């Protein structure tokens, strides 16, 4: 009697749906010539401070915008709004990361063609367009 | 702790396969890249929870970790990186972000119940 385990090959990507949306977002930013940066680091390490300063310095020269993710509060967006750049808060509840679909829906009515730069943080995302720079966007970022 | 939602996606995906193929599954084989953002131990614990009251209850999750490989622009070959925090070719030290392996999160095979 054969006692070897019977294996069937499947090869299914667990995050397929996320990857599809992330690729579409990446293409959208690349086509619009928007530079995208994703800021991810430990709590308290200075993501918001860095972004606040960056937005303030870039805003007079570039069309910059930022998306910020937080579990509960809108404090980060309020802080970043002082730079006068468009800022949108994503409140994730109990989720500690931003999935591509969440970013896509948060982009909502923003016309990326009118941005030069964009960033997000998962806490935060910074968008910036320079006509020579292609966009980079990470599909799934985590805020550990 | 996004491992629970990932574990639930795995259970959904495998349940679909089970229905299509008409089989029972004893173990699920998964490739996890070191850049997938998934913590192995957290995923194993989450998997057990995600399987509760499903046809996969009692099944095992067999994880194969995939190291990070990059295309080194200097050596012109695939090389490991020095570390996750030190994204440089392990041979010549050239910085590179051209990841060719290490982002996987793939169900590769199902071990069937005899």
Range of lowest pLDDT (A23-27, A51-55, A89-93, B99-103): A89-93
Do residue A140 and residue B26 have CB atoms under 8 angstroms apart? no
pLDDT at A141: 29
CB contact under 8 A, A140 and B37: yes
Q: In chain B, what percentage of residues exceed pLDDT 70?
A: 99
For B108, the closest chain A residue by CA position comes to A11
Q: Which residue would you say has higher pLDDT here, A128 or B22? A: B22
Contact B21 A8 (CB under 8 A): yes
Residue A120, CA atoms < 13 Å, CB-side half-sphere: 28
Residue A44's region, left for phi above 0, alpha for psi from -120 to 50, else beta, is left
A132 — pLDDT class (breaks 50, 70, 90): very low
Residues whose CB falls within 8 Å of the CB of residue B34, separated by 6 or more in sequence, listed in order:
B65, B66, B67, B68, B84, B102
* Predicted confidence (pLDDT) at residue A137 exceeds the cutoff of 50: no
Query: β-pairing, B25-33 with A141-142?
Result: unpaired
Residue A138, pLDDT score:
31
């Amino acid at each position: 009697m054969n006692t070897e385990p019977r294996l069937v090959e499947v090869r299914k990507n667990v995050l397929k749906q996320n990857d599809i949306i992330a690729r579409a977002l990446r293409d959208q930013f690349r086509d619009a010539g928007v530079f995208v940066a994703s800021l991810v680091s430990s709590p308290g390490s200075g993501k918001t401070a860095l972004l606040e300063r960056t937005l303030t310095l870039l805003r007079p020269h570039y069309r910059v915008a930022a998306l910020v993710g937080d579990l509960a509060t809108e404090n980060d967006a309020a802080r970043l709004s002082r730079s006068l750049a468009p800022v949108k808060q994503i409140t994730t509840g109990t989720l500690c990361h931003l999935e591509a679909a969440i970013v896509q829906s948060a982009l909502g009515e923003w016309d990326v063609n009118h941005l030069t730069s964009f960033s997000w943080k998962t806490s935060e995302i910074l968008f910036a367009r320079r006509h020579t720079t292609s966009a980079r966007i990470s599909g799934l970022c985590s805020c550990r | 702790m996004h491992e629970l939602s990932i574990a639930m996606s795995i259970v959904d995906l495998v349940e679909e396969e089970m229905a299509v193929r008409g089989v029972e599954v004893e173990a699920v084989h998964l490739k996890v890249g070191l850049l997938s953002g998934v913590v192995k131990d957290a995923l194993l614990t989450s998997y057990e929870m995600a399987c509760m009251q499903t046809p996969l209850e009692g099944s095992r999750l067999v994880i194969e970790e995939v190291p990070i490989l990059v295309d080194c622009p200097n050596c012109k070959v695939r090389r490991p990186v020095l570390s996750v925090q030190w994204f440089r070719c392990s041979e010549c030290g050239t910085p590179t972000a051209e990841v060719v392996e290490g982002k996987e999160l793939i169900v590769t095979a199902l071990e069937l119940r005899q």
